[in-house]
Amino acid sequence: MVIRKGGALLLAAILLISGIFGLTKAMRYFYQKAYPLGYEQLVLPACEEQELEPSFVFAVIRTESSFRPQAQSSVGARGLMQITEETFQWIQFRMEDESGVDYDDLFDEKTNIQYGTFLLRTLLDEFGSETNALCAYHAGWGNTKKWLQNEEYAPDGQNIENIPFGDTGRYVKKVLETKKMYEKLYDFSA
């Protein structure tokens, strides 16, 4: 079989394009495994109810627990969204929840997502931006209030630009970068 120069170039181009397409598909598959949509059937309705971006909630869950519902931190934060007992009680008060749900129920995926998304919505409403809300989620409502009142941390009094706790700064950065990955990998507009 004789392949002319033009035919060989065309064949090489086709093979190159096929290889790039295959590699792109493989990379997307890899990243979707690294950034899964765990508990999608619970997260998406909770996001709709609380008017939250799914990419934001998936990023918080991935960062907090890596989608492990039985996760428990050294300070006792529990479940997918890592809620402490004190925060749980505060959420119950804010929700006016008299359902009988207790702290042990935070290992239940649905309960944890319900409380965690309510908390995120409340913090976004209170603090106005994802960065500020994540500071409050990680370092507490009181610390966030103080930081917003300090020009060193929030020069405009509205947006925390210099997070004084290193672990909180790393946490906020990680969640926001993870959110961007979810936005690149998935179409949540449907």
Q: What is the pTM of this model?
A: 0.85
pLDDT, one tens digit per residue, over 50-86 is 999 999 999 999 999 999 999 999 999 999 999 999 9
Check residue 43 and give left, alpha or beta (phi > 0: left; psi -120 to 50: alpha). alpha
What CA–CA distance (Å, rounded) separates 101 from 186? Answer: 33
pLDDT, one tens digit per residue, over 137-175 is 999 999 999 999 999 999 999 999 999 999 999 999 999
CA nearest neighbour of 88 among 78, 80, 99, 98: 78
What pLDDT score does 90 carry? 93
**Confidence tier at 24 by pLDDT (50, 70, 90):** low
What pLDDT score does 188 carry? 83
What pLDDT score does 137 carry? 97
Is the CB of residue 89 less than 8 Å from the CB of residue 96? no
Take residue 51 and report the two structure tokens written for it.
């008017």
Residue 31: pLDDT over 90: no
Alpha-carbon distance values, 4 to 9, 13, 17 (Å): 9, 14, 20
Which range has the worst mean pLDDT, 7-11, 46-50, 124-128?
7-11
What pLDDT score does 71 carry? 95
